[in-house]
Structure 1
C-alpha cells in the first residue's frame, strides 16, 4: 500500500516500533528497508525522560540498529523552542547565564545542558520547563510556582495525562504540568505531540519540506493530530494505541491506515 512516495519519514516509537521491551516485527523489517534505500528518518517521541543514547540502547536491545542522531525527543524540542524564544527576546546573555528551573529526568536535564542552559532547582529563573518526573514533590511544585509567578516562561514537554506501564495507566507529564498550571493559574506552552512544534523542528533536522515527509504513529490523539496540525500526511498503524473504531469517531483523520508497517510500500 502506498498512494505516493515520500523522501523521508517521522516515526513514533512506543506502539509503532516497539511495545514495552518487545520489538514489533513488521516495524523492524520496515526500518531495515528505509536503511537499504537510504531514506532519511527520525524517531520523534514524547518521551522526555530518556536521552538519545538511552533510546539507542533500548532499540539495540530489541535488535534494531540505531545511532543517537536518529532520535528527536520532546526534551530536545523544548530546549530548541527555548533557544528560539531567547533569540527573539534579543538577550545579550549567553545560554549558560540563562537560568532554567527544570522538573524532569535525565533526558530533559541532558537536553537542556547540551543546549547550554544553566539548570537550577529553585527561583529565580527565566524558564520553568516540565517533563515526566517520577520523583516529583510538593517542594518542586512550590519552586516552579514561585518562579512562574515571578515571571518565568512556562514550558511543558507534552500533554500526556497518563502513560501505559506493566501496572496499567499511571500519571504522565500532563498530570504534573496540570498541578503547576492549577497553582499558578497559567497554562504552559506545550511542545510535544500533538503540538506542531516538535514536528516542525524534526522536519528542520531532516532538511525536508512538509509535503515530502510521512509521519507514522499508532495514536490518533498525539501522532496523527500532530501531523494534521503541521499539514503533513500521516499513516496510522494499528499496532498500538488507536483502533479502527477510534478513527470512525475521531474528528482527526489519518491520510492512510495500515494493520502494520509492512503494508506500506516504500
Structure 2
C-alpha cells in the first residue's frame, strides 16, 4: 500500500498541535519534514498563530531540527497584506490607513510591514482598522479600545477564531476567545483572515505551485484546519495530537479525508 506522503504532490501543514505543542516537539514530526525535504516534496507550514513573524518561526523550528526559509510559512498577516494590496482600503489607492492591534509582536510587526500606521491612546479609538489575534498580554484597556474603534466604524479583522490553543498541560484560551469578547462588546462579526477562510489555503497552494486536487492539508482542528481544506477543495488529514478527536469528526459532520494518530503516519504504508 502506498503511503500518504507518496499520494500527493504538495503538503500544507499546521504547526501548533501538529509539529509541536508550545515548546515541545511532537515525536515523528521532524522526521516527516526532513523526508519531504530530501525527496524534494513541496510543503508549506500554514498556521493561524500570528504571534510570531515567519522569520521568528524559522528560528523556532531550527531549534527542533527543522531547517526552512520564511517562504515556507504562511499565516493570516499574509492574507491581510494581499487584501490591502488588492484594494481592501475602502476605495483608496493601495495600502495605507491607521490600525489598532490586539496581538503580540509578530502580528504588530507584520501589520506595520503591510503599510498601516499603528495608533494608540485616543487616536486608536478612531482607527480605520482593528486587528485581533492571540495576545498573552491582553488587558481590559485593549479590549475597550478595540470595541470603541469598531463601534466608531473601524474595519474589524480577526487573525483567526481558534477558541483554544493546544499545550502540553492542556488547552489554553486561543485567539478566538479574545475575538469572542471583542465581537460581544462591539456587536460586530469580524472578517477572518486565517483558516477556515479558503483564501489562506489558496495562498499556500500558489506559493507551492501545486493545484488543490494534488495537495493534502494536515491539521489538528476540525473547525479551522479541516474546514479550510474542505472549503478550498483540498484533501485533508486530521491528526490526533492537538485539539480535535476522531469522535468529534463523526459528531460535527466536518469529515476529513484521512484521520491518523500523528504526522509521522504520513510515512506509514
Alignment deviations for residues 81-121 of structure 1 (CA, whole Å, 9 cap, x no partner):
3443426x4413x53x4111111111111211221221122
Contact 1:76 1:108 in 2 (8 A): no
Query: 2:43 corresponds to which residue?
Result: 41
TM-score by length of 2: 0.88
The aligned residue for residue 250 of structure 1 is: 252
Of 146, 151, 154 in structure 1, the residue corresponding to residue 153 of structure 2 is 151
Aligned residue in 1 for 2:102:
103
Distance (whole Å) between structure 2 residues aligned to residue 257 and residue 62 of structure 1? 25
SS in 1 for 2:185: helix
User: TM-score scaled by structure 1?
Assistant: 0.89
Show CA shifts across 1:110-164 (max 9, x none): 2112212211221322211111122222222222222222221110011122223
* CA distance in structure 1 between the partners assigned to 2:138 and 2:204 by the alignment: 29
**Change beyond 3 A, Cα 1:166–1:214:** closer
Q: Deviations over 1:146-193 (max 9, x none)?
A: 222222111001112222345543322112222221222111111222
Distance in 2, matches of 1:119 and 1:208, equals 36
Aligned 8 A contact 2:55 2:70 in 1 = yes
Aligned to 1:198: 200
- Shift in Å, 1:5: 2.8
Q: CA RMSD in A?
A: 2.3
Contact preservation (8 Å) 1:78, 1:156: no
- Give the superposition deviation at 1:23: 2.0
Structure 1 match to 2:92: 91
CA distance in 1 between counterparts of 2:33 and 2:117 reads 37
Distance change in 2, residues 1:148/1:264 (3 Å): same
Take 2:49 and 2:106, find their aligned partners in 1: how far apart are those partners? 8
Q: Which runs of 5+ in 2 are unaligned?
A: none
> Matched residues in 1 for 2:136 and 2:220: separation?
25
| Aligned twin of 2:113 | 114
The match for 2:133 is 131
Describe the SS at the equivalent of 2:242.
coil
Moved more, 235-244 or 10-19: 235-244
Higher deviation after alignment, 30-39 or 252-261: 252-261
Could you list the runs of 5+ residues in structure 1 that have no partner in the other structure?
A: none
Deviation at 1:71, TM superposition (A): 0.9
CA distance in 2, matches of 1:57, 1:199: 23
4+ residue segments displaced more than 6 Å: none
SS in structure 2 of the partner of residue 108 of structure 1: helix
Say which SS state the counterpart of residue 156 (structure 2) adopts.
strand
**Shift, 1:230, TM fit:** 1.3
Q: How many residues align?
A: 263
1:4 Cα deviation (Å)? 7.1
Deviation, 1:3, is 9.4
Distance 1:183 1:239 in 2: 34
**Quick one: distance in 2 between partners of 1:250 and 1:171?**
21
